[in-house]
Amino acid sequence: MSDYKPPLRDMRFVLNEVFEVPRLWARLPGLAEVIDEDTAAAILEEAGKISAEVIAPLNRGGDEQGCSWNDGAVTTPDGFTAAYRAFAEGGWVGVGGDPQFGGMGMPKIISAQVEEMVNAANLSFGLYPMLTAGACLSLNAHASQALKERYLPNLYAGVWTGSMCLTEAHAGTDLGLIRTRAEPLADGSYAISGSKIFITGGEHDLSENIIHLVLARLPDAPTGPKGISLFLVPKVLVEADGSLGARNSLSCGSLEHKMGIKASATCVMNFDGAIGWLVDAPNKGLAAMFTMMNYERLGVGIQGLAQGERSYQNAVEYARERLQSRSPTGPQAAGKAADPIIVHPDVRRMLLTMKALNEGGRAFSSYVALQLDTARYGADAASRTRGQELVALLTPVAKAFLTDMGLETTLLGQQIFGGHGYIREWGQEQLVRDVRITQIYEGTNGIQSLDLAGRKIVGSGGALYRLFAAEVRNFTANAGTELGEFCRPLNAAVDTLDELTAWLLDRATSNPNEIGAASVEYLQVFGYTLYAYMWAMMAKAALGKESQDDFYASKLGTARFYFARLLPRIHSLSASVKAGSECLYQLDAAQF
């Protein structure tokens, strides 16, 4: 596997030239004091160094060794504890954290780039700080001041880590079915009892304490999702002076044996009357969890992007060096026995597909992060509301489409290696195994598609979609004639999505099956159209500079490839949507 090279030049292009975020930061009181273009560049440079030099070298060894379980204790692979210590000491766990409690206070659009680099370097490693950051988000938004003061500083510092304990063996997506119980105690705490599965970072040796956020039911809770509360349950109890006390009544029952991300401890966690504290109000647990869900689901999408970027870096290096056959137009490396495979049309098709999807995905993930920042820091209520609405609309697309494209790009990277891609030593097969989970956890991509089509499109009567479509139309209307080659197909794609959205809204009124039947392909059309919007904006930023710098020439050439070869996928997907739900119900269950 080639060394990981942080794509800092492309990140700066997206931040500074496409979205011009330094100008935005300067106008927002919550950000002007903490971030500017130079600060952002320095942060990304340092994050790139620790990702490439400290975390990436552990990726293959971590996969081969994996985590081990011994009588409830979990040991991470060799090198992980030292790397995590270095990561934490650099302040990277709290890069987006509240400065009041020791975080860096960086906007999401910066922490998103950091997440990409860490996850491209080593997805298993990146999950530990990601879960901690998610726990911090929920605590900072919903916990009492006393809980925040006691727990957030050590979480942001990486001295303690966090986990999210949601899933139970019988209750995955349907959290309303959970059975974990919370019994009130006389001192205001609660005794938590139950078992959770698939808990990332539920037990490990990276930190001295693990702070679990656990969904459970109070004795008088209503049934279903409206009866779920959230509790903070530390692995080791914390004394009033902040020191560590006795071990809490919880344990790791086993580790899951997984297809990929083997250096990430995926635990079965048992709570046996463990002491915990209520976060927010009783029966408001799902609301507290959903505070971090938009951030976490974007984070999982970025994991898919990150694996695709690592696969592309490996594949393009290999394609430049691997000699095989001659170019269709004649020898390109006359002094060698064969030409590098990068001369062959199909290899170029695969590499350009990877490049277009990765760079489009980086712009898209940054765009969603920018909406999260607008929702939080916007200068007025109208802009904050608009940011919130776009986040609601785009979060399921970010999670599902980025990870679907992540699998496609890692598979293409493996394919470029031919037989060597199937062999362990080259690293491509690990990326395929690792990225596969991103389409499954944090809400499967089918659930994300239902969320988009059912809640966000049909549920809003199309209002959220119209907000996005109007933004794209405004961009194309003001882009100028020189961008016509990009804006014309972008407008046509929005026309297609307009028509498809109207079709979905109409059909959903008479047949509820239509939403589920259309949802996956509808999200895919939405995703490809979003990427077209990103590529049109990137083309605008690059146009006129291509003769000065190969970077811009490459950007424009990739944009043209995207519009010519990838955007047309929306036509077959649209036809699938309009085929309707009837064909899905022509077989009885016994006929499958």
d(CA 127, CA 109): 19
Q: Is residue 420 part of a domain?
A: no
pLDDT in tens, 494-511: 999 999 999 999 999 999
Q: Is residue 360 part of a domain?
A: no
Confirm if 322 and 340 have CB atoms less than 8 A apart. Answer: yes
Q: Is residue 463 part of a domain?
A: yes
Of 144, 163, 178, 250, which is closest to residue 212 (Cα–Cα)? Answer: 163
Q: What is the pLDDT of residue 296?
A: 87
Give SS3 for 277: strand
The burial of 376, by beta-carbon neighbours within 10 Å (0-12 exposed, 13-18 middle, 19 or more buried), is given as: middle
Confirm if 232 and 289 have CB atoms less than 8 A apart. Answer: no
Residue 61: count other Cβ atoms within 10 Å of its Cβ: 15
Q: Is residue 433 part of a domain?
A: no
Residues labelled catalytic? 442
Q: What is the pLDDT of residue 206?
A: 98
Query: Could you tell me the pTM of the whole model?
Result: 0.97
Helices then strands (H, E): number in the chain? 19, 11
Neighbouring-strand partners of residue 75: 68
d(CA 143, CA 288): 9
SS (H, E, C) 117-136: HHHHHCHHHHHHHHHHHHHH
Q: Which long-range contacts (CB under 8 A, 24 or more apart) does 233-238 make?
A: 233/165, 233/192, 233/271, 233/274, 233/275, 233/276, 233/277, 234/151, 234/209, 234/210, 235/203, 235/209, 235/210, 235/211, 236/208, 236/209, 237/275, 238/150, 238/151, 238/209
d(CA 43, CA 45): 5
Show the beta-strand stretches assigned E in 128-189: 160-165, 181-184
Q: Is residue 470 part of a domain?
A: yes
Q: Is residue 373 part of a domain?
A: no
Confirm if 284 and 227 have CB atoms less than 8 A apart. Answer: no
Confirm if 181 and 216 have CB atoms less than 8 A apart. Answer: yes
Strands 209-216 and 160-165: parallel
What Cα–Cα distance (Å) separates residue 151 from each residue in 238, 268, 399?
Answer: 9, 24, 29
Q: What is the pLDDT of residue 145?
A: 97
Phi, psi of 195 (to 5 degrees): -130, 140
Q: Which portions of the chain are predicted below pLDDT 70?
A: 1-2
Q: How many CA atoms lie within 13 A of 133 on its CB side?
A: 30
Q: Is residue 475 part of a domain?
A: yes
Burial 419-453 (b: 16+ CB within 10 A, else e): eebeeeebbbbbbbbbbbbbbebbbbbbbbbbbbb
Q: What is the pLDDT of residue 29?
A: 82
Burial 377-398 (b: 16+ CB within 10 A, else e): bbeeeeeeebbbbbbbbbbbbb
d(CA 567, CA 353): 11
Q: How many domains does the chain have?
A: 1
What Cα–Cα distance (Å) separates residue 413 from each residue in 92, 314, 431?
Answer: 30, 7, 9
d(CA 365, CA 405): 13
Of 119, 54, 44, which is closest to residue 84 (Cα–Cα)? Answer: 54
Q: What is the pLDDT of residue 272?
A: 98
Q: What is the pLDDT of residue 292?
A: 76
Contacts of 340 (CB under 8 A, 6+ apart): 319, 320, 321, 322, 323, 324, 332, 333
Domain that holds residue 542: 445-583
What Cα–Cα distance (Å) separates residue 226 from each residue in 140, 229, 230?
Answer: 22, 9, 12
Q: Is residue 54 part of a domain?
A: no
pLDDT in tens, 451-487: 999 999 999 999 999 999 999 999 999 999 999 999 9
